[in-house]
Structures are given as structure tokens and as C-alpha cells.
Chains A and B, each alone.
Chain A
Amino acid sequence: MTRVRTGSGRPYPRRVLRVAVGIVGYAAVAALFPPFTWPALLATVLPLVVTGGYALRRPARPPAPAPSWRRIAPWAVVLAAGIGWELMALFRSPRADYPTISSIVSPLAAGQWWFRFLGYLLWLAAGTALVRRWA
């Protein structure tokens, strides 16, 4: 495997660099498309198609043992609190006084390229992390 030396001397496979550059480039282009447009929708469908291919086939590695419920419990508690908090806001009005995550994020995502760029970066990075586990 060809490795590229970085400034710190740590080698990274060229493949990792290519994927990273690809993600950054894709996020930059996708962020140009305004919400509620066909190009914006296609920008999310294309990664879904790619990752879907990996999801449908048998993973290359056998699955690791599942963590115990005791170790998952802290996550369950915090996520349940988050969902409950969001639901409390969702079923109240006016939205200005009871903000949901969508109502906080939407104005930024609708009007700011840099916010959409960061959003796509995080979203694509999460998708890549998933695919790496299945490939």
C-alpha cells in the first residue's frame, strides 16, 4: 500500500487521502445547492446509493461482540432525555418560544453556505465511518 508522509512524519495511505479530499470536495459542491431543490436532493441520494451497496452485501469482517446493556444505558438515558426535550418543544407553540432542533438549524442551513458545507462534511464523514465497518 502506497503511503504518503505528512508534515508530522505519520504515514497515511493514499486511499485515505483520496477519500478525505473527495468528501471535502463533494461537501463543498453540495453546499452550493439551496435547500428544497432537485440538485440538493440528488446530493444526498448519491451517497445513499453508494453506501446502500455496502449495506446490502455481507460485511468483510465478522461482527464484534455486542456491548452489555449496562454500558449502553448512559447513552439510552441521554438520548431519551434529548428526544423527550425535543418532543416537548414540538408539541408546544409558538415555535419562537419552543424551538426544536430543526427550527434552530433550518435558518442557518437555508442561508449559509459554510453551515451546509460543515453539515455535509459531518454527514459524509459519518457515512464513510459506517461504510468502513462494512467494507
Chain B
Amino acid sequence: MGVKQVFLAGYLLIGIALALLVLLSHRRPTAVARVSEMADAATRRRLGRVIVLVVWWWMGWHFLVRSA
């Protein structure tokens, strides 16, 4: 297994871990917070909403506009 494959496998594992957390957050909400709860907490204040929005926009711009 080359270095590239190791890194790709790492990204895949992290993606699977995130998907499992989403599943767990619905099955066992007392153990893992839902994404919506964390979004609500982060956006309680106007500054938080602006920061989250900028991050959201940057993700779209970076992967969809700035691709080469």
C-alpha cells in the first residue's frame, strides 16, 4: 500500500466516522449531540451566525468555484 492509498484510506475512515456520529446522534441523543443542536448553539448570537455563514460560503466557493 503506497503513501497515497494510506492518506485516501484515512479520509475514508474519517468520513465513515462522521457518518456513524450522525447515526449515533439520532439513535442515542443523550450520548452524541445532533448536528442541528450544535448549529443552534454556534448561531445563538449574530456573530456566530455570520461566522457560520462565511464558513458555509467559503466551502462552496473553495470546492465549486476555485477548482482547477
Contacts and interface: CB of A to CB of B under 8 A. Distances in A.
Contact of A35 (B44, B46, B59, B67): B67
Given A67-B34, A88-B7, A104-B11, 9 more contacts: A64-B37, A71-B33, A78-B18, A81-B14, A101-B11, A102-B63, A130-B56, A133-B36, A134-B49
A99 to B, nearest CB: 6
Interface in A10-47: 30, 35-36, 40-41, 43-44, 47
A9 interface: no
Nearest to B46: A56
Interface of B: 2-4, 7-8, 10-11, 14, 17-18, 21, 24, 30-34, 36-41, 43-44, 46, 49-50, 52-53, 56-57, 59-68
B67 A110 contact: yes
B58 to A, nearest CB: 9
B41 A97 contact: no
A78 B18 CA distance: 7
A120 B64 contact: yes
Contacts of B49: 55-56, 134
B11 A63 contact: no
B40 A35 contact: no
Given A36-B66, A52-B53, A74-B32, A133 B61 contact: no
Contact of B4 (A74, A97, A123): A97
Contacts of A98: 3-4, 7
